[in-house]
Structure 1
């Protein structure tokens, strides 16, 4: 399955907006982008320019770098082939043979992708949200 960059970006923008419980109208006003155009970008029908993406990200208070990082992760997760999937996951369980949508996918991915078009490709629902900092242990 090929995922277009504009579709992955649109999915992430919609995900960020709906997580904030904001309407298209509200974000379009803040970003100074027409409501119809923002809707087309979210649906992956229009390829947004870098200036437009920056304005939308500013309106959503989402760093552009964070958006692009998550989009790259989403696309990478969908495009993995059986040769690139690890044999085991961190808890030691075998990950081979888990077919979802015709591809073998790892069981460990980041961010809540449950409402994205990419969701059928994932092996399970994820619980973290965009912008949520992973909890880390620092040992001195």
Structure 2
């Protein structure tokens, strides 16, 4: 049986917080997430959203997959019907794969932007790349706007405030988050 996003986040969040010696109060202060919500997330009872996970990534200075990935060994097949969706204000994300090559890390997500919706982000670690597969995507990064269509790609420093919108209908895209600098060891990965 596949572990749920909720259970995986609970274990990985607890591990990351305690490894850094942070109390729930300090993580709450750094992330802007209430202590009760953090406690619920760590116990597996919370309902994580994109905004929550990105805030935790920013506060803990971790790749998002360090919070969401189970790190399976061998061949991995991600079936659309079986993958859990992380839902935000205007976007649905499914983590498809975490790719490590030396100190570099890339996370691959299936990203769906809902019609007429916006997904804001205050920023998070990494460099963000989005390749539009279907639809018209509006991307705003730190005040600069780009309109993208199928086959178009945008990249930017993900620490900058940014927003995705699908003003003309739903958008299907692939989101890649790349982390250039050596990243802290994630769950199941010892420190070098």
Question: TM (normalized to structure 2)?
Answer: 0.38
Per the alignment, residue 72 of structure 1 pairs with 70
**Where does residue 42 of structure 1 map in the other structure?**
42
User: Over aligned residue pairs, what C-alpha RMSD do you find?
Assistant: 2.5
Work out the CA distance in 1 between the residues paired with 2:186 and 2:65: 15
SS across alignment from 1:72: coil
Q: Spell out the pairing of 1:58-137 with structure 2 (5 A cutoff).
A: 58-68=58-68, 71-73=69-71, 76=72, 113=188, 128-129=189-190, 132=191
Q: Which has the higher strand share?
A: 2
Number of positions where the alignment pairs a residue of Structure 1 with one of Structure 2:
82
Give ranges in structure 1 of 5+ residues lacking alignment.
81-109, 114-127, 134-140
More helix by percentage: 1
Q: Relative to structure 1, is the Cα distance of residues 112 and 60 closer, same or farther in structure 2, using a 3 angstrom cutoff?
A: closer
For 1:15-48, what per-residue CA distance to the aligned partner results, in whole angstroms no more than 9, with x for missing partners? 0010001101100111011100011011110121
- Paired residue for 1:86? none
Find the aligned partners of 1:18 and 1:6 in 2 and give their Cα distance.
18
Q: Which runs of 4+ in 1 moved over 6 A?
A: none
Provide the C-alpha distance between the structure 2 equivalents of 1:111 and 1:60, rounded to a whole number of angstroms.
Answer: 12
